[in-house]
Structure 1
């Protein structure tokens, strides 16, 4: 069924070097390669090619596949180095991470050890207030879990297909159907629920299947007469380069965008099957590519925990610091390859019997799970009163969420749901309108309402601006049409309430161009923002209510709950988590909003920045309380202390006269 092919292809080793280099460059903050994360997709196609080639050769020789031998070989190749990195990362995390983080990420280590961390991350990704994923030192294991799930199922699938004797073209047809179905669902899910398309292995199966198709094309010599294979190879290089240079993490990925690296990799694999002095295979066979490709697995394993821990310890890591991290990564990778990965993989005693290798796999898996569980238990016993106070401050919900978590509409929800706090028979009705940045004000406003016998009615939706501007949701990876529908209906309901005042708050820095929360795509210009905001404020004013627009809160450089907890654990002052005022606030956005609200009778702009920042600094803690639970959501215990200041700033000193 399959013609013999060369066992080792240097160009594939070089292609691995391109893949891992892109991933490392992206994670190490090289903005010139915003699409470097696509290197993972190159790895998927390579794996599909190599595994399918190997399995089809074995089926062609013997008519079957020795599954236990295959699984044993994969275990010797992958698990020893993986366990070494997991154990080292857990040990280093004890000294670097706060106990609460150690507990959380020990779960990640456990799921990584059992090859299902992609499913854990899939569930985690839907939590809007989930912990900062960028500080998860086991995050990169998601792709290894996808590969290991592929290794588990693909041999049995090919064996089943071959059992029906469809011939090489029949197998290619089946793989083509698998690729088309998987890609079609993946492209659809990218626009509907991007995390499923990204993390769920069946929706990545098309990339492996493409590699498998290429292996059949090469094995059967179907492309042997193609005269322009060097052109095809260089075209493949160009497609990968375009992806590396133009795609970013804010794009709807994988979807159709993933066709670029997948098609480019397929072209390179086809091109390299024929030796050519002018093709890219000659470039990829050069010693630097070969050396990097040989270490690619270890480089991938080590680079992420190294850069994560380095940026935690030194948040303002310089270029020199990142180069030092690269040197550490290369050093650790060489050592683990030389003394762990390669010796175990080529060990004669283990290779002599499948049961020995499978026993090693069971031992390493059990050891990884045990170490992870033990690390979580040690971390749980390390949580002292100070750590517990920070964790509780970050975990406490706003007043609106305390009465009902549904008070803040989900991303897909278009029908508003109002929530009422305060007096049941109020003298005045106040509406709080906006996104999660309005929600964190519900705590002091609820206290104000209760004190003054008012009713506070909330209309809140995650990531939805009050300003009537087009928005792009970075979690859905598409235009946020649900926000437009929700806003229109909510404003109609607010008008029917005939409130005395409407307080507007929103995360402006996530919608309009700024230097505080930069790097996001699809932010509207300040002119567009001003027009959309003015239109919404004018519409709210037509209800007869006084309209108060709150300036957005500062945005910190780090997640304060984690940063403060780490500083306490490491014996440092919480001031290391403070953010300079100039970095936390973009005055241009404030001026734009002031202009948008100016001249509208009954509309006021209120700036509460002084509650969070002094002239130079926005502290992480004020009066012994955590100011924000992450980078920009006010911690509820601190928000509760702002009621008096907020009442004076919004309602003035004549509350008893104007707002009984």
Structure 2
């Protein structure tokens, strides 16, 4: 193998620095400078494909098994130690500061999957895209790219070994990687339109980007130092940088990864070519920039910077917030310090160590498996024991969470023959799940069977607009199941959000103009859609001889109680709106829904309305807490466990009234 392949290319580290800085600037949303900065990951992919190919080419004289084992030894020592430390630290800090909330299961699952290198697959199965607001609070979101690379490493080394071994004898081996890359590009183009989650997160739609770097090495790697034209070299650098900049500034989530990733991959290819091919002695502004000592150092830290920047941002976003100037100044210092420390004390020693387990491939693999399993188990234990570790008030899950906790209080059971074999069917969105404590108490006190059908984000009879069309198939299946199980006289409890959400509207500013704007959103078309959806559901249930119980619109808040009740987050700007709101404001906002309920009651004799509003807001000011300073709400609109228990007597009385039971 020719000597030029062995030489270190400082400008490659400069490109890594550009990639990681673009991603960080995008994630912190600094002045919206780089709305497409997430394409820095695509630059990383091309660099990885090139560098891995170069590394494998240096070992072309090895047999297959040693070739593969040595590759995985080096990759494990390079990737795993820092990743395990960051993941476990993230689990710990999330347990300390971030209470479990509606996205917690998905977040924890993606974090645990990251220990196995498959977080991208878990994220592809979720309902949120990479750009969804909910993902701002997932500290493991960025590990999707590591999953893609790690899965690429399972396939690529064997393919590349075949190319190295047979490229001079069998011309067809030159076609394997290009054909796979073209197929992957086709998948990316198709899935961007039909299944963007899969296109974005899965290797099938990203393989071509890593393969582009490998193909680039096959073409230009052996010709390193052969280009003597300064004009051509400068044109390559300028053109490549222009394409990268176009991606950073203009790439959008709707057309990603295809076609926008093509621009970044093309720019990366031109830049790498421009730093590999020029003969010794060539210099330009771009070359000096990419080889600047500071940029090279950032490039060497790029892996650790990438690992740390996102979980630190998530924890800050949840606690003190990222809007404060002092936080914005401290954030880069904290991330830099963690990355530098990780590079100095974890990455470097473990990559260059001379211990037996670091030099022998089989030993490295065994130690890595044990380490990943141990750290993963520790992360799982933390995720299951947040109540013990949390510094938040929400660690009191009995009062904060609407779990189906078995009650600590004695249960006075109501024994009445008219309740025998009665069933309560509960259908709705996350607010149906928010009644779990209440439903558990109801089942225990009345001895009735409670059957729940919950689907987050899928309100039923919302009274504000037509029920979501994306939920109709699931909802129809739920009602068919109820029709099979139910007996005449059973109750179907329809529980959903029936008030316009207020969180994030105007922050601290709150006036008549804001309220009027919210009311104006209730257009005639939306009102007509709301009524039609309600009539469709109610008519079918009335025809089946079933009683229907609807909860009237409950109070809601402008900030989340679970996020704004602790010493470490009360100063967060998202909490500026406070945890109280005037009752008359909420009365105005729910008036249209109440009028529709009254009209529906006149039309459907089986419809009953339960209104818990006065119990949750007994005075002129509605608060997240009751007079004993116990939480009534978990977040801005879902009930707490204590809130459930406050409503339990009223709810049970309503059921008994329907069933004509004293």
Task: Tell me the TM-score normalized by structure 2.
Answer: 0.67
Query: Residue 515 in 1 paired to residue 515 in 2?
Result: no
Query: Residue 268 in 1 paired to residue 271 in 2?
Result: yes
CA distance in 2, matches of 1:113, 1:529: 49
Question: How far is 1:296 from its partner?
Answer: 0.8
Identify if the C-alpha distance between structure 1 residues 440 and 346 changes in structure 2 by more than 3 Å, giving closer, same or farther: closer
Question: How far is 1:602 from its partner?
Answer: 0.8
Contact 1:448 1:647 in 2 (8 A): yes
Question: How far is 1:175 from its partner?
Answer: 1.9
Matches within 5 A, 1:44-443: 44-56=45-57, 58-59=59-60, 66-86=67-87, 112-118=114-120, 137-165=139-167, 170-171=172-173, 173-186=175-188, 195-219=197-221, 229-230=236-237, 232-243=239-250, 246-247=252-253, 254=257, 258-275=261-278, 281=287, 283-315=289-321, 318-347=324-353, 349=354, 355-356=359-360, 359-360=363-364, 362-363=366-367, 365-367=369-371, 369-373=373-377, 390=397, 394=401, 396=403, 435-437=429-431, 440=434
Identify if the C-alpha distance between structure 1 residues 370 and 534 changes in structure 2 by more than 3 Å, giving closer, same or farther: same
CA distance in 1, matches of 2:659, 2:79: 73
Matches within 5 A, 1:444-593: 461-464=455-458, 482-483=470-471, 506-507=496-497, 515=505, 527=521, 531-538=525-532, 540-541=534-535, 550-551=552-553, 554=556, 557=559, 560=562
Identify if the C-alpha distance between structure 1 residues 485 and 96 changes in structure 2 by more than 3 Å, giving closer, same or farther: closer
For residue 641 of structure 1, give the secondary structure of its aligned residue in structure 2.
helix
CA distance in 2, matches of 1:501, 1:72: 62
For residue 289 of structure 1, give the secondary structure of its aligned residue in structure 2.
helix
Q: Report the equivalent of 1:642.
A: 647
Question: How far is 1:154 from its partner?
Answer: 1.7
Question: How far is 1:319 from its partner?
Answer: 3.0
Deviations 1:65-117 (A, max 9, x none): 83333333333433443455456556766765679999999987775455445
* Structure 2 unaligned blocks of 5 or more: 129-133, 407-417, 508-517, 543-547, 602-608
Q: State the structure with more CA Rg.
A: 2
Out of 625, 638, 653, the residue aligned to residue 633 of structure 1 is: 638
Deviates more, 1:361-370 or 1:176-185: 361-370
Contact 2:401 2:634 in 1 (8 A): yes
Question: How far is 1:584 from its partner?
Answer: 8.5
Q: Report the equivalent of 2:514.
A: none
Deviates more, 1:226-235 or 1:68-77: 226-235
Deviations 1:478-503 (A, max 9, x none): xx8533666799999999x9999998
Out of 599, 602, 609, the residue aligned to residue 602 of structure 1 is: 599
For residue 515 of structure 1, give the secondary structure of its aligned residue in structure 2.
coil
Question: How far is 1:330 from its partner?
Answer: 0.8
CA distance in 1, matches of 2:223, 2:466: 50
Question: How far is 1:297 from its partner?
Answer: 1.3
Identify if the C-alpha distance between structure 1 residues 139 and 294 changes in structure 2 by more than 3 Å, giving closer, same or farther: same
CA distance in 2, matches of 1:615, 1:288: 60
CA distance in 2, matches of 1:639, 1:148: 46
Question: How far is 1:179 from its partner?
Answer: 2.3
Contact 1:75 1:357 in 2 (8 A): no
CA distance in 1, matches of 2:78, 2:26: 26
CA distance in 1, matches of 2:15, 2:611: 54
Q: Report the equivalent of 1:410.
A: none
Identify if the C-alpha distance between structure 1 residues 456 and 361 changes in structure 2 by more than 3 Å, giving closer, same or farther: closer
Query: Residue 619 in 1 paired to residue 624 in 2?
Result: yes
Identify if the C-alpha distance between structure 1 residues 360 and 326 changes in structure 2 by more than 3 Å, giving closer, same or farther: same
CA distance in 2, matches of 1:455, 1:62: 67
Deviations 1:107-143 (A, max 9, x none): 87775455445456667779xxxxx875555554443
Identify if the C-alpha distance between structure 1 residues 644 and 547 changes in structure 2 by more than 3 Å, giving closer, same or farther: closer
For residue 325 of structure 1, give the secondary structure of its aligned residue in structure 2.
helix
Task: Tell me the TM-score normalized by structure 1.
Answer: 0.67
Question: How far is 1:390 from its partner?
Answer: 0.5
Identify if the C-alpha distance between structure 1 residues 659 and 384 changes in structure 2 by more than 3 Å, giving closer, same or farther: same
* Structure 1 unaligned blocks of 5 or more: 127-131, 400-421, 473-479, 518-523
Q: Report the equivalent of 1:23.
A: 23
Contact 1:236 1:268 in 2 (8 A): no
Deviates more, 1:212-221 or 1:356-365: 356-365
Identify if the C-alpha distance between structure 1 residues 44 and 537 changes in structure 2 by more than 3 Å, giving closer, same or farther: same
CA distance in 1, matches of 2:199, 2:555: 34
CA distance in 1, matches of 2:525, 2:28: 38
Give the number of aligned pairs: 601
